[in-house]
Amino acid sequence: MSKRHPLNEVEPPVAMRRGKRPAADPTDRPRRPGRRERAQQRDADRPPRYRTARMTPDHWHPDGDAVVPGELPVDVWGGIPGEPAEVELLHTGRHRIVGRFHAPVGEPHPLRRAPVCEHFDACGGCPLMHLVPAGQERARLALLRDALAEVGLQALTPSSVQPSPEGDEGYRHVVKLVVGRSDHGHLRIGTFARRTHRVVAIPGCNVATPVLRRVMSVVAHTIIELDIWPFDPQTGRGTLRHVVMRQSRSHGEVLVTLVAGGRNRALGILAERLSGAVGEVAGVHLHLNDDPGNAIFARDEEGQVPTVKLVGKDVIEERLGEVTLAIGPGDFYQANPAMAERIAQDLRELLAPDRDRPLLDLYCGVGAFTLALGREHGWALGVEVVGGAVSRARENARRNRIAAEFLAGDTVELLPEVGQRLEGRHPVVMLDPARRGAGEGVLAGVLAMQPARIAYLSCNPRAMARDLVELQAAGWRVRELRAYDMFPQTAHVETLALLDPPEAVGEGLAAPRRRVVR
C-alpha cells in the first residue's frame, strides 16, 4: 500500500464537505493580459501582408510618421526614431516610400505602447497613439525643434509641452463624420482612412467626448436604418455627405449639422431621432452643399454657412474665462476648449503689463481671444476674412457688453485703415493665422504701427518660424515661446511666441472711443 501524500491527510474545508467549491485565492490565479497587452501580442503574431525590410527611422515627419532617410525616404507609420524594426513596404512613390511598422527587432522601444484604439492603423487620425505620453511630448518637441532649426532658431525650443488639461482621451469636442460606402457597397459612416478616401467606421472613438461617442453611434445606426444614401457630387445622386457635431464644454449641449447634397424627408426624421435619443442634442441643422470637392461647408458671398434649423436651438454657448460665446453651425472654435482656456490664461498673464493699451487681433475668427483679452485691455479690434465669423464675433461682443469692433476683409488690405485708426497708440498685436502663417505684407503692416508687444499663436511651427525670422530681422526679440498639446495622440503642436520691440515704446495716445458694440 503506497504511502499517501501528507496533504491528503488534511481535512477538507467545511465548504468542500458540503459539496461547495472553495473561494479561489486571487493570488493563485494567473494574471490575465490586459487589452493593450493582448493587442500588442496580436500585432507581434500578425504575419506581414507586404514585403518587409529591417530599418531604423531617425526623425519624425510633421504628419507623425517616423522617417528612414535615403534617396527615397521611407515614412514608417507606427515607427519610432531610433527603434530598429521590421517594416512593411506598402507603396513606392516617385519621391517617398510608404511603410508600416510590423514588429521591433529586439526589445521594443521603452516609449512604445499598444494603441488603445483598434482602428489605429486604418483611421490614421492619431499617429502618435503608439507612444506613451512622455514619448508623445518628446516627439512634439523634436518636431518643433526641427522646424525652428531650419531657420537657425532652435535655441528657442521650449523644454516641455503643456499637456492637455483634460487628458489624452475624451478631449475632442468636435467630430466630423463622412457618409460613404464600404468596399462591398454598404452604407458606412466614419472617417476617411489614412491616405485614402475609403470610409472607416470609428465607433467608440477614444479622443471624442463620451457624449459625442453616443451621438456618433445613434447617427450611424439611424442613417443605416433610414437608408439615407451618401451624396455623389459627380452624379447628383444620394443625399447625405457629412455629419458635424460640436459639444459645449461649459454646458454639455450638442449642436449637430447635417451636410447634404439635397433635401430628403428622411433628414427630418433623422433630426427628430437624434434629439429624442440623446438628451444633450440641443439642435440639429441642415446645410446644403452640392459643390464638387472635399470642402464640408459651402459659404455664401458674405462668408456665411447658410443652414436650416430642423430641431431645437440656433446656437450653443461656450465659455472662455469670463466671456460667453455663441457657437453656431459652421462657426470655427477650438476642438479642445480646455486647452483654449489655458492659452487664454497664458495670454492674459503675458500681456498683463500692457493691459492699458488697445488690442489688435488679426485672424480673430468668432472673436474668442479678442473678447477674452479685450475685457482686460478696455478696447479691442478684430480682423477676419470670413464674414460669417465676423457677424458672430459682433454678436458675441454685444452679448458680453465688451468694447470691441470687428472688420471683415483680407488682413493685408485692411491694415492701412487699421494703422490710421491706431496711429500713435502703440497697440498690443495678436496674430493667430492659418497654417500658411501671416500673409505677404502682413508683418510689415503690423510693424508700421509700432506696437508695444506682439503675441503670435500658431498651429504650424514651420510657418511661425519663417515669420519669426522676419520679425527678428526688424529688431524684435522673442522673449518666450510656449508649446501646447492641443490634440493629444497627434503630431500637432500649438505654439505661442511673445515678442518685444527693438526699443521700448511710450505710453501712446488713448485708445479709440471705447464703444460697446450694440
CA 195 to chain CA centroid, nearest Å: 18
354-386 per-position pLDDT tens digit: 999 999 999 999 999 999 999 899 899 999 999
- The percentage of the chain sitting over the pLDDT mark of 70, rounded to a whole number, equals 89
User: Helix, strand or coil for residue 435?
Assistant: coil
Contact at 8 Å (CB) between 305 and 388? yes
CA angle 482/483/486 to nearest 5° reads 140
Report the distance separating Cα 249 and Cα 247, nearest Å: 6
**Which of 486, 485, 487, 483 lies closest to 496, judged by CA?**
483
Mean pLDDT, rounded, for 437-443:
94
Cross-strand partners of 285: 257, 309
> Is residue 92 predicted with pLDDT exceeding 80?
yes
pTM: 0.87
Tell me the residue type at 273.
Answer: R
The Cβ of residue 434 has, within 10 Å, a number of other Cβ atoms equal to 13
User: Sign of the C-alpha dihedral, residues 105, 108, 110, 114?
Assistant: positive
Structural Rg of the chain based on CA atoms? 28
**Where does the pLDDT of residue 24 fall: very low under 50, low under 70, confident under 90, or very high at 90 and above?**
very low
- What grid cell was written down for 374? 479685450
**Where does the pLDDT of residue 37 fall: very low under 50, low under 70, confident under 90, or very high at 90 and above?**
low
> Is residue 1 predicted with pLDDT exceeding 60?
no
Report the distance separating Cα 140 and Cα 142, nearest Å: 5
206-250 per-position pLDDT tens digit: 999 999 999 999 999 999 999 999 999 999 999 999 999 999 999
> Is residue 154 predicted with pLDDT exceeding 60?
yes
- What grid cell was written down for 281? 442634442
> Is residue 107 predicted with pLDDT exceeding 80?
yes
- Residues with catalytic function: 459
468-481 per-position pLDDT tens digit: 999 999 999 999 99
Cross-strand partners of 244: 176, 257
Contact at 8 Å (CB) between 456 and 431? yes
Mean pLDDT, rounded, for 80-100:
96
User: Sign of the C-alpha dihedral, residues 484, 485, 490, 491?
Assistant: positive
Mean pLDDT, rounded, for 158-175:
97
Could you tell me the end-to-end alpha-carbon distance of the chain, in angstroms, rounded to an integer? 105
